[in-house]
Amino acid sequence: MKVFYSDVHFQHNPPFEIFDGGEKLPNFEVPERAQRILSALHQTSWAEILAPQNFGLEPLRAVHEAGYLDFLRSAYDEWQLSAIDADYPKTALLPATFPPAGWRRKPSSLLGLAGYYMMDLSAPIVAGTYAAALASANCALSAASALLEPEPTFQKAAFALCRPPGHHAGRANCGGYCYINNAAVATNWLSRSGKVALLDIDYHAGNGTQDIFYEREDVLSISIHADPHFEYPYFSGYADEIGAGAGLGFHRNFPLPAGTQDSQYLAALSEALKQIRAFDPKYLVVSAGMDLYGGDPLGKFQVTASGIRAIGREIASLGLPALIVMEGGYNNAALGENMLAFLEAF
């Protein structure tokens, strides 16, 4: 299996985030996450670790608004040059103000734009954030390109070891540790060659992916996740959100209760796979978050390592060319083995 990975992810290492209730904590989304998975892959006989190609900005602009991408590119440098309290250490950019519902006038000031484009306080922008996000997107695009190669180099499955993750990034927002929606960028790129099903198994709802594909009929997007009645991202991921316009019926959410165990998860997955088979896509993209694991500090499911292995087997049984994109997962001690348990099915 071709695995695409870039050391550039080390450049993104925020020193803190503002967690639930306003508590300032060390960031959960750290470089160790990718290194744990990489170390586990190095122990296998089947993982071919490759550097990503550079696909340029056009695949990103096809998914994200140009103004938002410009903000990601320039925000940190502009903040460093700003005259706001020169004695205050500027290590990570976060907004202090967010627009209430209906207040969507785009401001011109940097801190105003930060509130306009940043969904929450868990996606700080540091000096290397933009470079790492670009490299992460290129990993996803490179893995997607492996699915298009002719024999004998064609890959039935390829893995994008993306960091930072992406599924909370919408058309014009970052949030939830995500800046560029890697899976969505790769899905849109693959959709030029045929219909694509995008299955998100991260513990949290893929609100950014939903935002991007909600009115598309050539992409079936499905998310299995913790019920947003009690879990982040709270404002998206409900069962009655099924697409709009041309995309009506081409998006599905499967919100699950706290304490969900293997059998409950696999039952929801079975329903999702039925819909994918009915859609009859040419390609499958999986947003693979390992925070569904019972020992994850940011999750409330009770899915076991053997459950993760079974989830991988069920998804692989579709028999589709599959792009697997790394999303969340914050139990670093178990992350490498959990990811291998999932990938080995492919």
What angle in degrees, to the nearest 10, is found between the helix axes of 305-316 and 262-279? Answer: 10
**Distance, CA of 171 to CA of 272 (rounded, Å):** 25
Structure confidence at residue 87 (pLDDT): 62
Structure confidence at residue 139 (pLDDT): 98
Domain ranges of the chain: 2-343
The domain made up of 2-343 is a member of CATH 3.40.800.20: yes
- Please return the burial class of 302, using the count of CB atoms within 10 Å of its CB with bins 0-12, 13-18 and 19+: middle
| 167 catalytic per annotation | no
- From the list 9, 64, 168, 251, the catalytic residue is 168
pLDDT in tens, 208-238: 999 999 999 999 999 999 999 999 999 999 9
Whether residue 99 is predicted with pLDDT greater than 80 in this model: the reply is: yes
**Distance, CA of 117 to CA of 207 (rounded, Å):** 15
HSE-up (13 A, CA, CB side) for residue 62: 18
Please tell me the pTM assigned to this model.
0.97
Average pLDDT estimate for 260-281 = 98
User: In terms of Cα–Cα distance, which of 244, 241, 238 is closest to 215?
Assistant: 244
Average pLDDT estimate for 150-170 = 91
**Distance, CA of 303 to CA of 5 (rounded, Å):** 27
Sign of CA dihedral 227, 171, 209, 212: positive
Average pLDDT estimate for 167-178 = 98
253 three-state secondary structure: strand
Whether residue 302 is predicted with pLDDT greater than 80 in this model: the reply is: yes
- Please return the burial class of 242, using the count of CB atoms within 10 Å of its CB with bins 0-12, 13-18 and 19+: middle
